[in-house]
Amino acid sequence: MTAPTLTGGTSHAGRARRRQAVLRRTVLSVGTVAMLVPVVALLEYSVRFPLTGAVDLSAWRKIVAGRTTEYQSLAPLWSGLTSSLVMCALTVAIMLGLLLPTMVWVRLRAPRAARTLELVCLLPLSIPAVVLVVGLAPVYRFIAGTPLGSSTVWLSFAYVILVLPFAFRALDAGLRAIDLVTLAEAARTLGGGWSRILLRVVVPNLRPAIVSSSFVTVAVVLGEFTVARLLARENLQTALFQVNLSDSQVAAAMAFVLLTGTTALLVTLELLATRTARTARPRSAEPSRPGVGREPRGARR
């Protein structure tokens, strides 16, 4: 009586696994097609003249030529790209310099403030960008009167606020995955100071989370348009909007480059983080191989 029951249960479980596998492949295929169709359409638009349908690579030639006097109309594009790249570096540095020590300190010294910190970091999600700009406009008017001037790169201060929810989630997941209290106490027992604990103990264990939060920050800064437009600053997205008015194919080609470049950056950072984590894994955690670690024959007495 037992054998038919086991056979029926096994076949039912096998059918359920096959249905789940088919459902996963279907969802993955539909999602992949939904993401690839706009990208392919963007690439086609950049190489095909809209009115005649003829293939034209002039937009790509202008981008490959770079910042030359021949294409003066594309000058805002290169200045906006430079400003956005500088803002990416500044925003990542400010975000990590402020958020990571604060989160570590709260977990070690003030765990009751964890909820408050989470609420503060997630608050920008509920604030519309227009409201944020209204509040930041007097601040940037004051900064413009200081030696810092009205440079676009100071938008990094506003972008730190925008990336707080995403960076907080990435770092919080990394902190939850490690026993921070034990690590900190062990380092303190060995005589390490707080700065050494943060740089030599916490940061190496949080490397994947730091990479993830940095990538999200870069992606947000490269794609930000509203704050820069409303504050009359020029970044990559506002430059693309301006170039799109005169040469839409160049704007489409540049958008395709940014999209593929951001995706390649994501894959590269993920591979580097995975490789670094495997390298930093202690040897004691690796499975022991037969014969490894044993004393050679004849060594025992």
Q: What is the pLDDT of residues 21-46, one digit of tens each?
A: 889 899 989 988 988 898 888 888 88
Rounded to 10 deg, the angle between the 156-176 and 207-223 helix axes is 150
Residue at 297 is within a domain: no
What CATH number should be reported for the domain holding residue 124?
1.10.3720.10
Q: What is the pLDDT of residue 99?
A: 93
Q: How many domains does the chain have?
A: 2
**Token pair of 264 as six digits:** 């390649």
Same domain, 79 and 51: no
User: For residue 301, how many other CB atoms are within 10 A of its CB?
Assistant: 3
Q: Is 8 helix (H, G, I), strand (E, B) or coil?
A: helix
Burial of 298 by CB count in 10 Å (0-12 exposed, 13-18 middle, 19+ buried)? exposed
Same domain, 207 and 98: yes
Query: Please, which residues bridge with residue 48 across strands?
Result: 55
Residue at 287 is within a domain: no
Residue at 143 is within a domain: yes
Domain that holds residue 186: 75-278
Task: Give me the chain's average pLDDT, please.
Answer: 82
Same domain, 32 and 104: no
Rounded to 5 degrees, φ, ψ at 295 are -75, 145
Find the mean pLDDT for residues 131-152.
Answer: 86
Residue at 197 is within a domain: yes
CA-CA-CA-CA torsion sign (130, 227, 208, 106):
negative
Q: Is the whole model's pTM more than 0.85, yes or no?
A: no
Q: Would you say residue 62 has pLDDT above 90?
A: no
Check: CB of residue 135 under 8 Å from CB of residue 141.
no
- Residues 159, 216: Cα–Cα separation, whole Å: 12
Check: CB of residue 205 under 8 Å from CB of residue 183.
yes
Q: Would you say residue 72 has pLDDT above 70?
A: yes
Same domain, 194 and 95: yes
* Nearest Cα to Cα of residue 109 among 4, 180, 204: 180
Share of the chain above pLDDT 70, in %: 87
- Which region among 87-96, 162-171, 277-286 has the lowest average model confidence (pLDDT)? 277-286
Burial of 22 by CB count in 10 Å (0-12 exposed, 13-18 middle, 19+ buried)? exposed
**Token pair of 30 as six digits:** 């539909």
- Per-residue model confidence as pLDDT tens digits over 162-205: 999 999 998 998 898 888 888 888 888 888 788 888 888 888 88
- Residues 47, 40: Cα–Cα separation, whole Å: 11
H or E element in which residue 183 lies: helix 180-189
Q: What is the pLDDT of residue 7?
A: 62
- Size (the chain), residues: 301
Residue at 13 is within a domain: no
Residue at 141 is within a domain: yes
Residue at 61 is within a domain: no
Name the pLDDT band for 74 (thresholds 50, 70, 90). Answer: confident
**Token pair of 252 as six digits:** 């489409």
Q: Please tell me which of 69-73, 101-105, 183-187 the model is most confident about, judged by mean pLDDT.
A: 101-105
Check: CB of residue 143 under 8 Å from CB of residue 154.
yes
